[in-house]
Amino acid sequence: MPITTIDVDHDALTLTIVAEFAAPKQRLWDAYADPRLIEQFWGPETYPARFLRHDMYPGGQSRYVMTGPDGDTSSGYWEFLAVDATDSFEVLDGFCGPDREPSRDMPSMRMQFRFEDAGEGSRAVMTTHFASLEELEQLVPMGMVEGTRSAMSQIDAVLADLSSFAADRPTLVQEISGTTVRISRVVRGSVSDVWRAHHDADLLRRWQLGPDGWEMTEVTPPADAGSSFAYRWAPLPGTEGEPFGIVGEVRESDPEHRIVHTERMEGFPGETVNEVTFTPVPEGTLLTYVITYGSQEERDAILATGMVDGMEASYARLDDVLS
């Protein structure tokens, strides 16, 4: 068990949990920063979490849902107050309502996570600040300590697994719900470069081509919230296929962190909402797409077109362009 101390301070209104790990601090930080990793241990063993959103930067947010053995669910959120990469982060932690939006009627807590070198491994110091003694005495008996102990019992396996989400893995698709998937890929470039590659027309023409044998005939890149974008492709001579285009509108844009946009294929019904997060990792930039479709049938039909393979071919080109 990695937990070494648990301290409830009724005067300071804090709960402090210290845990030590046989892994370097960078690896421990990555486990919290990567939604694919944190959901493997955030939550008790009997209530595994699924992160619907995880934007680890000041002003960013997370949403997660924990599902019990009988199918019951509990939803929570984080609002990131401060982030000092590899050393610490601070969040406002609270509960979500049935719509999976923050419930301001429920108690919320300020949580600080600090990461330190500890001999040949690392240490995490997690301090929860309560607004009142009443909240502390309400929430701690609800199972916070036992839940954290159960969650921490799973993290050693995550830290020891160096292959499942390694940077040399191809584009990965994971089902989040019946209408939502998460697609992720580590691109070997800085966040600034990868963000620019998604917003610069000349760069987009060099890499966002899908399978070999196609060219981009029109590029209107996304810009600020409220802007529109359009991409159109056509097959080169000797390549089978019909020209097609994708268009959409930008709903949110936080440069070098996150962009949310709609997307639809011209001439076809249906529209998706794409939430894209850019997270710095030691190997480059972790791109995370959370894509929500109009129905499960629409989701399955689009994935069956080979979309993910086309994304992988494009991102392999982007690796080369940025190198």
Return per-residue pLDDT of the chain as tens, 323 residues: 488 898 999 999 999 999 999 999 999 999 999 999 999 998 888 888 999 999 999 999 999 999 999 989 989 999 999 999 999 999 999 999 888 888 888 878 999 999 999 988 999 999 999 989 988 887 776 667 787 888 878 888 888 886 666 666 789 999 998 999 999 999 999 999 999 999 999 999 999 987 789 899 999 999 999 999 999 999 999 999 899 999 999 999 999 999 999 999 898 888 999 999 999 999 999 999 999 999 999 999 889 988 899 899 999 999 999 98
CA distance 40 to 216: 39
| pLDDT value at residue 45 | 85
CA distance 148 to 138: 16
Reported as a single tens digit per residue, the pLDDT across 143-170 is 677 878 888 788 888 888 866 666 667 8
DSSP secondary structure letters along 269-294: ---EEEEEEEEEETTEEEEEEEEE-S
Reported as a single tens digit per residue, the pLDDT across 21-77 is 999 999 999 999 999 999 999 888 888 899 999 999 999 999 999 999 998 998 999
| pLDDT value at residue 140 | 73
Helix, strand or coil, per DSSP, at residue 28: helix
| 159 neighbors 31 (Cβ within 8 angstroms) | yes
The label of the residue with tokens 């056509």 reads: 234
**For the CA atoms of the chain, what is the radius of gyration?**
21
Helix, strand or coil, per DSSP, at residue 207: helix
CA distance 295 to 68: 25
In this structure, the chain runs to a length of 323
CA distance 323 to 149: 43
| pLDDT value at residue 163 | 64
| pLDDT value at residue 129 | 95
Structural domains in the chain plus CATH codes: 3-160 (3.30.530.20), 172-322 (3.30.530.20)
The label of the residue with tokens 């997307």 reads: 263
Selection from 90, 80, 55, 62 nearest residue 258 by Cα: 55
CA distance 133 to 189: 47
Helix, strand or coil, per DSSP, at residue 195: helix
Tokens representing 11 are 């005067």
Tokens representing 247 are 């268009």
CA distance 52 to 206: 31
Beta strands, E only, the chain: 3-9, 14-21, 49-54, 61-67, 73-84, 88-95, 109-118, 121-129, 172-175, 180-187, 214-220, 228-235, 244-254, 258-265, 272-281, 284-292
CA distances from 154 to 26, 31, 45 (A): 18, 12, 8
Q: Which of the 8 DSSP states describes residue 140? A: G
| pLDDT value at residue 1 | 46
Residue 307, H or E segment: helix 307-322
Contacts for 205-210: CB closer than 8 Å, 24+ residues apart: 206/317, 206/321, 207/314, 207/315, 207/317, 207/318, 207/320, 207/321, 208/314, 208/318, 209/233, 209/313, 209/314, 209/317, 210/310, 210/311, 210/313, 210/314
The label of the residue with tokens 């697609």 reads: 183
